[in-house]
Amino acid sequence: MNHTPALREAIPPYTDGMRIGLLGGSFNPPHTAHRDITLFAMKRLNLDRVWWLVTPGNPLKDKAPHRLEERMEAARCLAHHPRIDVSCLESVIGTRYTLDTIEFLRRRCAAVRFVWIMGADNLAQFHRWKGWRTIADLVPMAVIDRPPDSFGALSSPAAQALMQHRIPERDAGQLATMTPPAWIFLTGMKSPLSSTRLRNPDGSWKT
């Protein structure tokens, strides 16, 4: 299959068999917790790389984010790590939904072992995502504890529905090789930062 230059550029380098974490979001703005979560997951899950998928916009949020180019540049400056790749894949393939992104990557990079990474705040609303059950069937998921969202996340509809597929933390290093549905709740990563707290009421970034 032929791919446009934009698509080839939007898919970071990889080789078959790699363990790659996927961290999606609007990154509006990117902040140190994104990087901390990434490095934490990379170590605990034994990942080769992590791709930051900067979305054009979040369907569950009303306010429009800053321009994609601006968020991409800020994310690259923040990441500053040889094993973190920043991608605008969702803009290139024309989707705002995680389900579509994962289905595309499963087809395009069939031999890569992907893990979806998200904070506990996202697990709390995961049942509102388009095709959330299918997402869980397609890719192993790692949920990073983000107090004070822990209780709400683990008691959420999605967490309860998927509870039988939750694996113990001691098996974190094997998650990428497991057949989904399989998910893990990782503790020990303590950061109160969020993009929401770093934005002014008008949506601009705090400086």
> Is residue 10 in some structural domain?
no
Which domain, by its residues, includes 39?
Answer: 15-198
DSSP for 32-86, written as a single string: HHHHHHHHHHHHHTT-SEEEEEE-S--TT--SPPSPHHHHHHHHHHHH--TTEEE
> Is residue 159 in some structural domain?
yes
For residue 127, the one-letter residue type is H
Write out pLDDT tens, residues 21-71: 999 999 999 999 999 999 999 999 999 999 999 998 777 664 556 789 999
Q: Is the pLDDT of residue 205 over 50?
A: no
Write down the pLDDT at residue 63.
57
> Is residue 203 in some structural domain?
no
Number of separate domains in the chain: 1
Whether the Cβ atoms of residue 101 and residue 131 lie closer than 8 Å to each other: no
Q: Is the dihedral of CA 129, 197, 50, 8 positive or negative?
A: positive
> Is residue 150 in some structural domain?
yes
Write out pLDDT tens, residues 104-160: 999 999 999 999 999 999 999 999 999 999 999 999 999 999 888 888 999 999 999
pTM summary value: 0.88
List the CATH number of the domain containing 88.
3.40.50.620
> Is residue 167 in some structural domain?
yes
Whether the Cβ atoms of residue 136 and residue 180 lie closer than 8 Å to each other: yes
> Is residue 181 in some structural domain?
yes
What are the start-end ranges of the E strands in the chain?
Answer: 19-25, 49-54, 84-87, 113-119, 141-144, 183-186
> Is residue 45 in some structural domain?
yes
Query: What is the average pLDDT score of the chain?
Result: 89
Mean pLDDT of 157-179: 98
Retrieve residue 40's tokens. 């934490």
| 131 Rama class: left (phi>0) / alpha (psi -120 to 50) / beta | left
Write down the pLDDT at residue 3.
55
